[in-house]
Amino acid sequence: MLNEKGKSRTIAAAKAGMDAKTARKYLRDGKLPSQIKSTHDWKTRKDPFEEDWPAILEMLDINPGLEGKTIFEYLQNATPGQYQDNQLRTLQRKLKYWRATEGPAKEVYFAQKHYPGELCASDFTHMSSLGITIRGEMFKHLVYHFVLTYSNWETFTICNSESFESLSAGLQNALWEVGRVPARHRSDRMSAAVNKDCNPETFTRNYRSLLRHYGITPERTNVRAAHENGDVETSHRHFKRAVSQALMLRGSKEFHSIAEYEQFLRRIAGQLNAGRSERFAEELSVLRMLPARRFNDHKIIDNIKVGKSSTIHLQHNTYSVHSRLIGEKVQARIYVDYIDIWYAQKQVERIKRLSGESKHRINYRHIIDWLVRKPGAFENYRYKEDLFPSSWFRMAYDWLRSNMTLQANRQYVRILYCAAKEGQSVTENAIRYLLEQDKEITALNVQHLIGRQNSIPLATDVVVETNSLESYDALLEEVTCYG
């Protein structure tokens, strides 16, 4: 441009910031600098892997997933001293170029269109990493996460493990919260739940029966293909992030109860769903009606024999039942959070369900009638730790071991018998009083204090005496005299 305005080439080159010879070259060629730049397609140094490259290609042909570091370590072992550690990056660049130009085709992800009311997706996600505590104890749990894929409307159910009971309860809770039913349900292969059930055929039969009850068509993703259930996987991340941020604002991860924690999560889910109301309304308009009732969301196990230790074994855990049932066969109905024990078509017990395996839950009330007759069995009882209903009972036992070594087990078992017959709370109050007053803790003293507590009338027991008519006559006569 400067040259066209009549300036000399030297001045024009100087104003353009280049040498005059360079300017003459560009004018002679009639091309811009970017147009005459040559492509660097020659090697500046010898390829150190040229000799072994055919062998490397054979390895990649057998297993294209081999990483550069694995191949490099193989070459170092096969030809000691030929390759140095600083040549690893060279091989990795060479493999990267080969994969991009000659390697196998990579998996393609095909974006899918979603239609209102067609598909829902669900999966379990672990929440323990958030560090939630209930009354000071770490709350290890999962969340069954349900998503309508068109609107991304979501809800959840807290559960202890991946099982059919958790899946059934979570899915049904979600459907009844929505108030409608979609056409299809997508999930992964639920291997953890199937393995926990220990019977894939039974799990599949129950799962299909559940979906058939609601008229839903099942869909499953392929093995190791989490992206095929991408809607719920993405919702996992967003939901956990929202919970983590809300906990930071709250300033504490401590909750008084699971119910309080659940309400906290419900508020977060409500906030997330608030921005999806329009598309959710579209889904509601095309979703189908719910059936008249819920599907039975529990598993039934029949003919469970109660052992001589007054225990039963369910799903790799041990539970106690009343000693009256020893030798009998009972039925267990396993729900998400509890287990009902039935005998002769009658429910005889409800037990809080354990999470995990190789655990035990022993209720001292079930075995105390015979334990009080065999106090010596307490010392080495396998489930001894379950027989301390609270920390006060544990402190009472520790006091007995320190002060009444020979009679400690006998005295503690008798105190436990008092708790079973008179009530755990009043027995605990008696233990607390004796410890605070530094008095001797014996079953007799505990019984004496319980008797005193029972003899004190309640504040609501108000006694109103009825006055006689003569007292009213005397009062009237007194008023007349002084009137």
pLDDT in tens, 115-128: 898 999 999 999 98
| Of 273, 263, 278, the residue nearest 238 (C-alpha) | 273
Distance CA 403, CA 236 (A): 55
Give all strands of the β-sheet with 142-148 in edge-to-edge order: 153-159, 142-148, 119-126, 184-187, 217-220
User: Helix, strand, or coil here: 289?
Assistant: coil
Residue 139 has pLDDT above 60, yes or no: yes
Reported confidence tier of residue 94, pLDDT bands at 50, 70, 90? very high
C-beta of residue 339 within 8 angstroms of C-beta of residue 333: yes
Q: Tens digit of pLDDT for each residue in 151-172?
A: 999 999 999 888 888 899 999 9
CA distance linking residue 288 with residue 284, whole number of Å? 8
Count how many residues are written for the chain: 483
Span 336-350, mean pLDDT?
93
Alpha-carbon span 468 to 42, nearest angstrom = 124
Give the count of alpha carbons within 13 A of 288, CB side only.
15
Q: Are strands 317-320 and 360-361 parallel, antiparallel or unpaired?
A: parallel
- Render pLDDT for 370-424 as a digit per residue (tens, 0 to 9): 999 999 999 999 999 999 999 999 999 999 999 988 899 999 999 999 999 999 9
Host H or E run for residue 400: helix 391-403
User: In the structure, what pLDDT confidence band is assigned to residue 357 with cuts at 50, 70 and 90?
Assistant: confident
Check pLDDT > 50 for residue 2.
Answer: no
Q: Record the tokens describing residue 255, joined without a space.
A: 């909750």
* pLDDT value, residue 433: 92
Amino acid symbol at 162: E
Q: Would you call 195 helix, strand, or coil by DSSP?
A: helix
Q: Are 336 and 171 in contact (CB under 8 A)?
A: no
Residues 6+ apart with CB under 8 A from 252: none
Task: Report the b/e string of 260-292 with b at 16+ CB within 10 A.
Answer: ebeeebeebbeebbeebeebbeebbeebeebee
| More confident site: 411 or 481 | 411
Least confident piece of the model among 133-147, 199-213, 390-404: 199-213
Average the pLDDT over 39-63 and give the result: 84
Specify the DSSP class assigned to residue 457: P
- Torsion angle (degrees, nearest 10) of CA 263, 266, 271, 272: 150
Q: Which helix (H) or strand (E) holds 339?
A: strand 338-343
Helices (DSSP H) in 83-163: which residue ranges?
88-101
* Per-residue DSSP letter, 337: S
State the pLDDT at residue 463.
54
pLDDT tier, 227 (very low <50, low <70, confident <90, very high otherwise): low
The CA dihedral of 19, 22, 28, 30, to the nearest 10 degrees, is -100
Dihedral (C-alpha) 196, 197, 200, 205: value to the nearest 10 degrees?
-140
- What is the mean pLDDT of the segment spanning 256-279? 93
Cα dist from 314 to 303, 323, 343, whole Å: 12, 17, 16
Kindly indicate the confidence band of residue 236, based on its pLDDT and cuts at 50, 70 and 90.
Answer: confident
pLDDT band at 225 (very low <50, low <70, confident <90, very high): low
230, 233, 235, 238: CA torsion to nearest 10: -120
Position 459 confidence tier, pLDDT thresholds 50, 70, 90: very low
- Token pair for residue 460? 């609501």
- Between 356 and 472, name the one with better pLDDT: 356
Q: In what helix (H) or strand (E) does residue 144 lie, and over which residues does it extend?
A: strand 142-148
- DSSP 8-state class, residue 288: B
Tell me the pLDDT tens digit for each residue of 293-303: 999 878 889 99
User: Residue 311 to residues 197, 326, 344, 414: CA-CA distances in angstroms?
Assistant: 21, 8, 18, 22
- pLDDT band of 345, cuts 50, 70, 90: very high
In the chain, what are the domains? 1-34 (no CATH), 53-101 (no CATH), 119-286 (3.30.420.10), 299-361 (no CATH), 369-455 (no CATH)
User: Is a pLDDT exceeding 60 seen at residue 212?
Assistant: yes
Average pLDDT over residues 443-451: 91
- Residue 347: helix, strand or coil by DSSP? strand
Contacts of 196 (CB under 8 A, 6+ apart): 161, 162, 163, 315
- What gap in Å lies between CA 140 and CA 127, rounded to an integer? 7
Cβ-in-10-Å burial (0-12, 13-18, 19+) of 142 comes to: buried
Write the CB contacts of 22 (distance below 8 Å, at least 6 apart in sequence): 13
Pick the more confident residue, 253 or 469. Answer: 253
Both tokens of 26, joined, read 């560009």
| Arithmetic mean of pLDDT over the chain | 86
